[in-house]
């Protein structure tokens, strides 16, 4: 890998770690989700990066894909299990990292289960390792705490301007027979729950992604689509960002762009049995036969 490229992956990881830790530090009783998300976004930009995707701040039974609404009033309560999942983009070189907190509590077992699962992965990680080896370590660790891994969420390869590509790294034991790349970046993200271990789409959507640049009839729709293409490329973005920029009418245009096939929706994901969910995630860089955890 060229050194310039390596430096950008590493910087994206370093900023990712910083904004994850900032987010976690703000998860206290009474804190507003919107304030936490905006603080993370502000810091990302101050560091000369852009968000890889909107900060996901998902509470309790919500596993992922929640980012605050433009007028979100939600406040954290003591005992909430909060997943802070964030990433930084440095010229399209991305990080993706997450941590969980039990608000106002120490030593929560569900949080420890996913933290220890990810720590166990760090111990064995190397370029070209088999996917099933990682999945087994995650599954065993989470079950040793008496919880279930979420089977339909998992790690993934990352490319430039591409948050999910290539490998899928399951959180449950499998015989996939596939191997991780030897050069480049992957994210590993154990999820644990006291539910059955399966997430489903809820009706709510706060995060979107450009998938096709089709003709749009309305002037505002065209303007929004152009902005999305220029500002986010094909990385996920928040409805809140578009409303803040273009006003409330943008909400209707977003719906039209989805219907026209220009935007993909990321539904908010919930645990099927309403189990509580925790998650940790790191990005790993493989280069020259070695592994670096860029977000550690």
Question: What amino acid positions are annotated as catalytic residues?
Answer: 85, 96, 156, 164, 189, 281
Which residue from 156, 140, 157 is spatially nearest to 148, judged by alpha carbons? 140
Terminal alpha carbon distance of the chain: 21
Alpha-carbon Rg for the chain in angstroms: 19
274-293 residues near Mn ion, rule: CB under 5 A: 281
How far is residue 111's CA from residue 96's CA, in Å, rounded to a whole number?
A: 18
**253 near Mn ion, rule: CB under 5 A:** no
**DSSP per-residue letters across 145-199:** TT-EE-TT-EEEEEETTEEEEEEEEESS------B--SSEEEEE--EEESS-S-E
Instruction: Tell how many helices (H) and how many strands (E) occur in the chain.
Output: 7, 18
**85 near Mn ion, rule: CB under 5 A:** yes
**187 near Mn ion, rule: CB under 5 A:** yes
Smallest separation (angstroms) from Mn ion to the CB of 187: 4
Smallest separation (angstroms) from Mn ion to the CB of 259: 28
Smaller CB distance to Mn ion: residue 118 or 276? 118
Smaller CB distance to Mn ion: residue 98 or 120? 98
Asked if 170 and 151 count as a contact pair (C-beta separation under 8 A), the reply is yes
Smaller CB distance to Mn ion: residue 185 or 225? 185
**96 near Mn ion, rule: CB under 5 A:** yes
Smallest separation (angstroms) from Mn ion to the CB of 141: 19
The size of the interface with Mn ion (CB under 5 A), counted in residues, is 6
Residue 68 tokens read as 């605050």
Asked if 195 and 110 count as a contact pair (C-beta separation under 8 A), the reply is no
Smaller CB distance to Mn ion: residue 110 or 269? 269
How far is residue 132's CA from residue 178's CA, in Å, rounded to a whole number?
A: 8
Residue range at the interface with Mn ion (CB under 5 A); choices 19-27, 187-195, 205-213, 285-293: 187-195
Residue range at the interface with Mn ion (CB under 5 A); choices 19-27, 143-151, 273-281, 287-295: 273-281
Using the structure block, give the residue that is written with the tokens 């983009």: 89
Residue 283 tokens read as 């990005």
Residue range at the interface with Mn ion (CB under 5 A); choices 3-11, 14-22, 185-193, 199-207: 185-193
Smallest separation (angstroms) from Mn ion to the CB of 189: 5
Asked if 131 and 178 count as a contact pair (C-beta separation under 8 A), the reply is yes
Residue range at the interface with Mn ion (CB under 5 A); choices 101-109, 180-188, 205-213, 265-273: 180-188
Distance of CA 7 to the CA centre of its chain: 22
Smaller CB distance to Mn ion: residue 165 or 273? 165
Smaller CB distance to Mn ion: residue 54 or 127? 54
5-64 residues near Mn ion, rule: CB under 5 A: none
Phi then psi for 52, rounded to 5 degrees?
-65, -30
DSSP code of residue 32: B
Smallest separation (angstroms) from Mn ion to the CB of 221: 29
**116 near Mn ion, rule: CB under 5 A:** no
The residue ranges that bind Mn ion (CB under 5 A) are 85, 96, 98, 187, 189, 281
């Amino acid at each position: 890998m060229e050194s310039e490229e390596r430096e950008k992956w590493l910087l994206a990881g370093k900023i990712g770690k910083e904004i994850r830790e900032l987010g976690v530090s703000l998860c206290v009783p009474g804190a507003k989700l919107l304030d936490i998300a905006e603080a993370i976004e502000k810091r990302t930009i101050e560091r000369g990066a852009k968000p890889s995707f909107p900060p996901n701040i998902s509470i309790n039974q919500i596993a992922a894909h929640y980012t605050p609404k433009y007028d979100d009033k939600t406040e954290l309560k003591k005992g909430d299990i909060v997943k802070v999942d964030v990433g930084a983009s440095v010229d399209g070189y991305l990080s993706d990292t997450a941590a969980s907190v039990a608000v106002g509590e120490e030593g929560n077992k569900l949080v420890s289960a996913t933290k220890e699962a990810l720590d166990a992965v760090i111990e064995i990680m190397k370029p070209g390792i088999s996917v099933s080896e990682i999945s087994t370590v995650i599954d065993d660790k989470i079950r040793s705490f008496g919880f279930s891994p979420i089977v339909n969420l998992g790690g993934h390869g990352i490319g430039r301007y591409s948050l999910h590509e290539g490998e899928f790294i399951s959180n449950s034991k499998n015989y996939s027979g596939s191997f991780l790349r030897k050069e480049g970046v992957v994210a590993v993200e154990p999820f644990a729950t006291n539910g059955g271990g399966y997430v489903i789409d809820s009706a709510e959507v706060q995060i979107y992604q450009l998938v096709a640049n089709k003709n749009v009839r309305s002037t505002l729709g065209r303007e929004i689509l152009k902005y999305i293409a220029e500002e986010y490329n094909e990385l996920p973005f928040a409805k809140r960002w578009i409303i803040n920029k273009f006003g409330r009418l943008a909400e209707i245009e977003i719906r039209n762009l989805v219907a026209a096939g220009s935007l993909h929706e990321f539904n908010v994901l919930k645990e099927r049995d309403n189990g509580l969910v925790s998650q940790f995630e790191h990005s790993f860089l493989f280069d020259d036969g070695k592994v670096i955890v860029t977000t550690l």
